[in-house]
Amino acid sequence: MTAVGIDAIEIRTGKLQLDLPNTFAPKKGEDPEKYTKGLGLETSSFPDVYEDIVTMGANAAKSLLDRKGLAPDEIGRIDVATESAFDHSKPVSTYIAGCLEQVYDGDFRHANKGERKFACVSGTQAIDDAYNWIRAGRNRGRAALVIATDTALYERGDPGEATQGAGAVAMLVTEDPSIVELSTEQGYGSMDETDFLKPNQQFPSVDGKRSMQVYLSRMREALEDYESIVGPVEPDTVAYAPFHTPFPGMVRKAGLFAYRHITRNTSIEDDLAESIGRQPREDDYESREAYEEAISEYMDALKGTDRYQEWYAETIEPTLGLSRVVGNWYTGSVHLARASALRDAAERGLDDAFVGERLLVGSYGSGAQAEIHSETVRPGWREEIEALDIDEQLASRYDLSFEEYTQVHEVHDYDKSVDVEEFTVPDGEFVFTGWGRMNERTYDYVE
Ligand code: HMG
């Protein structure tokens, strides 16, 4: 069977940044270490006044098409995953295609376009749709363009404000891909939850602490479901585990739970038993409370072991690199985690030896659903990852003062109409220009 998977990636960050420990924390009267050590965040990305989900998505997509030398008629499908859409009918993919058609000869007239919604997990679902479309033989040799784009803003003063971010990840899904091959095995954990939602409102209603519990529960169920198909996941068979990263501290917790799960009944549990005992089994306890207390003690001890710390440092920590400096990109977040992992592999000088290695990818969306699958690294991965210009983009972000941040938040609040000067100068990119006669958003390409 021909491999199908991700052939190319481009990342586009919002062009502004907010320094969380040095600019945000002092204004909130909080210890900067709550951000750097607790949540694990340094800076968050924001869109300039002329950027939005369409410009970021279109700019990422243009970089991708240019780099791969693709013409519009070589794309048979454009799916946008977002939870920041401003239109309940016309999908963001049509706005993005319209932008791209301003600069290319030809058009996307015969491409199937759509929009995927399920909070942050929809980026992965859009990749699944592309995979299925190719596997079903409906692509006529053409590639699918999947774009995950979001402006993740919370109400001012909401605890989630610390975890904001904005950016887009464009991915090309093809046969014989250069970066990773996808597989047919997937595990799901899905329940009707009210932890984070936006019922006809731009900013989410969030039960932050509960959302963390729901994330962990659905991820555990997805992992169990995945293992029911492929058998137990063994720690040493996974090179990296990129998870959805609302903030790195969340993944730090998830990583510990995952390690406890995948080492149960293994020789690793036996080895660790000499220093921290065996994992508590519920049947050995008289009450649920006693069992949970024992689990909590075991987890604290596990976290301190060299064995766990080495696994975490190799498998999880490298996936958090981009998230730490851009915040939560919702639908794009897990795809940033994958890119961070691959960037780490390239920095470590891995090349052919990395081909065939496995990534265990954990996606999550509030509401709530987790999905786990594995991906296999393909020859060509390194060239694709080294082509990313995200370091240059990050280095050139405009650093906002707190007052400027409050203005930018208002500019992107759909209920407000404020006039704020742009902070950066558009340069070879799509920009938001205003509203058309039917209240549609309008865009131009600035040379
Ligand atoms: P909070 O209540 O302000 O923060 O908001 P906190 O007091 O819980 O502190 C955060 C961490 O920093 C804690 O670590 C503190 O101990 C630590 P923990 O105990 O949990 O390991 N801390 C410090 N560490 C060192 N030095 C200090 C210090 N002070 C505190 N001085 C919360 C945190 C996550 C609730 C908030 O940011 C929030 O509501 N975020 C939005 C919801 C969210 O991100 N949930 C994550 C799971 S749901 C999800 O991932 C889906 C999502 O992406 C949406 C979608 O799917 O569409 C959100």
**pLDDT for the residue 93:** 98
> What span, in angstroms and rounded, lies between the C-alpha atoms of 43 and 323?
9
For 259-272, the pLDDT digits (tens) are 999 999 999 999 99
For 55-85, the pLDDT digits (tens) are 999 999 999 999 999 999 999 999 999 999 9
- Reply yes or no on whether the pLDDT at 1 is more than 90: no
Around Cβ 191, how many Cβ atoms within 10 Å?
12
Atom of ligand 1 nearest to the CA of 364: 56
Is 403 a catalytic site residue?
Answer: no
Stretch 329-341: mean pLDDT: 98
Ligand 1 centroid to 158 CA: how many Å?
Answer: 11
Q: Whose CA is nearest to atom 1 of ligand 1?
A: 159
Stretch 201-228: mean pLDDT: 98
> What span, in angstroms and rounded, lies between the C-alpha atoms of 146 and 151?
17
- Residues 42, 83, 161, 317: which is the catalytic one? 83
Atom of ligand 1 nearest to the CA of 32: 31
- Listed in sequence order, the residues at least 6 apart from 239 whose beta carbon sits closer than 8 Å to its beta carbon are 315, 341, 345, 354, 357, 358, 359, 377
Atom of ligand 1 nearest to the CA of 333: 53
Atom of ligand 1 nearest to the CA of 158: 39
Q: Which of 34, 330, 336 to mutate to test the pocket of ligand 1 (most atoms within 8 A of CB)?
A: 34
Q: Which two tokens stand for residue 196?
A: 């984070």
Q: Whose CA is nearest to atom 24 of ligand 1?
A: 38
Distances (CA, A) of 297 to 259, 262, 284, 300, 338: 15, 18, 15, 5, 31
Q: With bands split at pLDDT 50, 70 and 90, how would you rate the model's confidence at 29?
A: very high
- Reply yes or no on whether the pLDDT at 442 is more than 90: yes
Ligand 1 centroid to 36 CA: how many Å?
Answer: 12
Sign of the alpha-carbon dihedral angle for 246, 358, 317, 59: negative
For 119-128, the pLDDT digits (tens) are 999 999 999 9
Q: What are phi and psi of 174, to 5 degrees?
A: -145, 175
Stretch 87-95: mean pLDDT: 97
| Residue tagged 């000088």 (tokens) | 349
Stretch 409-427: mean pLDDT: 96
Three-state SS sequence of the chain: CCCEEEEEEEEEECCEEEEHHHHHHHHHCCCHHHHHHHHCCCEEEECCCCCCHHHHHHHHHHHHHHHHCCCHHHEEEEEEECCCCCCCCCCHHHHHHHHHHHHCCCCCCCCEEEEECECECHHHHHHHHHHHHHHCCCCCCCEEEEEEEEEECCCCCCHHHHHCEEEEEEEEEEECCCCEEEEEEEEEEECCCCCEECCCCCCCEECHHHHHHHHHHHHHHHHHHHHHHHCCCCHHHCCECCECCCCHHHHHHHHHHHHHHHHCCCHHHHHHHHHHCCCCCHHHCCCHHHHHHHHHHHHHHHHCCHHHHHHHHHHCHHHHHHHHHHCCCHHHHHHHHHHHHHHHHHHCCCCHHHCCCEEEEEEEECCCEEEEEEEEECCCHHHHHHCCCHHHHHHCCEECCHHHHHHHHHHCCCCCCCCCCCCCCCCCEEEEEEECCCCCEEEEEEC
Ligand 1 centroid to 207 CA: how many Å?
Answer: 11
Is 120 a catalytic site residue?
Answer: yes
Stretch 403-430: mean pLDDT: 96
Q: What are phi and psi of 326, to 5 degrees?
A: -125, -15
Q: Which of 36, 163, 164 to mutate to test the pocket of ligand 1 (most atoms within 8 A of CB)?
A: 163
> What span, in angstroms and rounded, lies between the C-alpha atoms of 81 and 90?
13
Q: Which two tokens stand for residue 102?
A: 């301003």
Of 189, 220, 225, 215, the C-alpha closest to 333 is: 215
- Listed in sequence order, the residues at least 6 apart from 438 whose beta carbon sits closer than 8 Å to its beta carbon are none
Q: Which of 116, 154, 156, 196 to mutate to test the pocket of ligand 1 (most atoms within 8 A of CB)?
A: 196
Rounded to a whole number of angstroms, the CA Rg of the chain reads: 22
Ligand 1 centroid to 176 CA: how many Å?
Answer: 40
Is 83 a catalytic site residue?
Answer: yes
Around Cβ 423, how many Cβ atoms within 10 Å?
18
Burial of 303 (0-12, 13-18, 19+ CB in 10 A): middle
Tell me which residues have their CB closer than 6 angstroms to ligand 1: 31, 33-34, 37-39, 83, 119-120, 159-160, 162-163, 196, 206, 208-209, 211-212, 215, 244, 246-247, 249-250, 328, 330, 364-366
Examine residue 144 and say whether the peptide bond preceding it is cis (omega within 30 degrees of 0): no
Q: Which of 211, 247, 251, 257 to mutate to test the pocket of ligand 1 (most atoms within 8 A of CB)?
A: 211
Ligand 1 centroid to 254 CA: how many Å?
Answer: 13
* Percentage of residues in the chain having pLDDT higher than 90: 99
Of 334, 377, 281, the C-alpha closest to 5 is: 377
Q: Which two tokens stand for residue 110?
A: 């015969």
Q: With bands split at pLDDT 50, 70 and 90, how would you rate the model's confidence at 445?
A: very high
Stretch 319-330: mean pLDDT: 98
